[in-house]
Amino acid sequence: MSKLPNIGVVIPGRRGGGVGLTIRKLVKGLRLEGFNVRPISLEGRNLLSVMCLDGRSLPMLCQFDTLIYMGSIPYPSHIFINDCGKIMLFVHGFVKQELINAIKKGRLRSRIRAISLLTLYDISRLIDKIDLFICRSLTSCEMNKIYRNYILLPEFVFQEEVKLYDKFMIEFKQTNFQRNVIRILTYTSYADSPRLLNISQMVRLLKHVSQNIRRNIILTVIDPKIKGEHIESSGNLTVKYTGFIPKDAFLKELANSDMFIELCIDEELRNTSIEAGLMGIPIAKLTHTRFIGRVDYEEDCLIHANTGKEFIHRITDYLNNLEYYRHIYSRNMRRFILEHRTWDALKEPLVNYLKSK
């Protein structure tokens, strides 16, 4: 039996949020397959110090059979160690568009960092030393102009997490809510990305929905970019905006929601939707017409539409028949996740590539 390769996972500084979760899960998954995996954190006070650390790490990085750079942008070290082993890059989101948005809208320090990262991004693509790209979805690959040498690895869960989310649902579910109130939850992102439905657009769509619903609706928008909390009301719709909340608080809010809205407009389901599906919370999603043919989930898995008008109609129908539809969507999405969004269901292309010579 041939020896499995040593894998270095290069982490660009402290990583929380979705990217941090991806790193932890990838490392865990590869270790479960028997690989010797070492996370390598390049952490510094600023981008320049990180670049210096990256340069000093060259001898150590060259000892690995495979290096997986996380965070969508490989640091310059990957150019000089290309002959040492395989070089892979995990791409998150729509990288160039998100960096351009940060340059346009960010504060001075954020703009300078985004310009530097955009330069690194363009240089890495020009030099073309990456052996394989890992993308969450086909659309993510295409929007980053990756048309070859890639594999897809959507958001996934481990089998052991399924029972854990069953436990969370029982632990966090409250039974004393007034049933004349409908509770809807959504989660934005640290990144300002064109792949996500704009919050103001989504609120406008729900205002149309609320006009056809007799019960009061509370929409909670969790936006990690804001601080504090504020509330807006319009008719029977109340929108509560809140900043980052701890994981337990998020899961409690999720467990007591009647619907979770996925903001991603391409075919991807983010981790928060996977969590909602495992906890039995029906998911509503608007997918752009351009990407609708790429989805791998059936219509009866979630409240799904590809136009604003259809989105309004489907959510209205669901909320007016909540007691009937909830069990159907809950059961079907859970089945979909167990069949198509577990590590065991998705790992083969990545594992086979890592084992290849």
Beta partners for 8? 38, 67
pLDDT in tens, 300-309: 999 999 999 9
187-201, 225-239, 264-278: least confidently modelled range: 187-201
Sheet containing 36-41: give its strands across: 36-41, 6-11, 66-69, 86-91, 132-135, 150-152
Question: What structural domains does the chain harbor?
Answer: 6-156+343-355 (3.40.50.2000), 159-340 (3.40.50.2000)
Plot region of 230 (φ>0 → left; ψ -120 to 50 → alpha; else → beta): beta
- Tell me which residue of 99, 30, 28 sits closest to 352, measured CA to CA: 30
Cα separation, 132 vs 146, in Å, equals 10
Angle at 350 between CA 117 and CA 63, to 5 degrees: 65
**Percent of the chain beyond pLDDT 90?**
68
Mean of the pLDDT values across residues 81-90? Answer: 89
pLDDT given for residue 173 in this prediction? 84
pTM: 0.91
Could you tell me the pLDDT band of residue 260, with boundaries at 50, 70 and 90? very high
Is it the case that residue 1 has pLDDT exceeding 60? no
Could you tell me the pLDDT band of residue 231, with boundaries at 50, 70 and 90? very high
Could you tell me the pLDDT band of residue 14, with boundaries at 50, 70 and 90? low
Amino acid identity, residue 207?
Answer: K
The residue whose two tokens read 């009061």 is 216
pLDDT given for residue 175 in this prediction? 63
Average pLDDT, the chain: 91
| CA torsion through residues 58, 62, 63, 68, sign | positive
Beta partners for 66? 7, 86
pLDDT in tens, 120-170: 989 998 999 999 999 999 999 999 999 999 999 999 999 999 999 989 988
Determine whether 109 is exposed, middle or buried from the number of CB atoms within 10 Å of its CB (0-12, 13-18, 19+).
Answer: exposed
Cα separation, 27 vs 68, in Å, equals 10
Is it the case that residue 177 has pLDDT exceeding 70? no
- Tell me which residue of 152, 114, 104, 159 sits closest to 266, measured CA to CA: 152
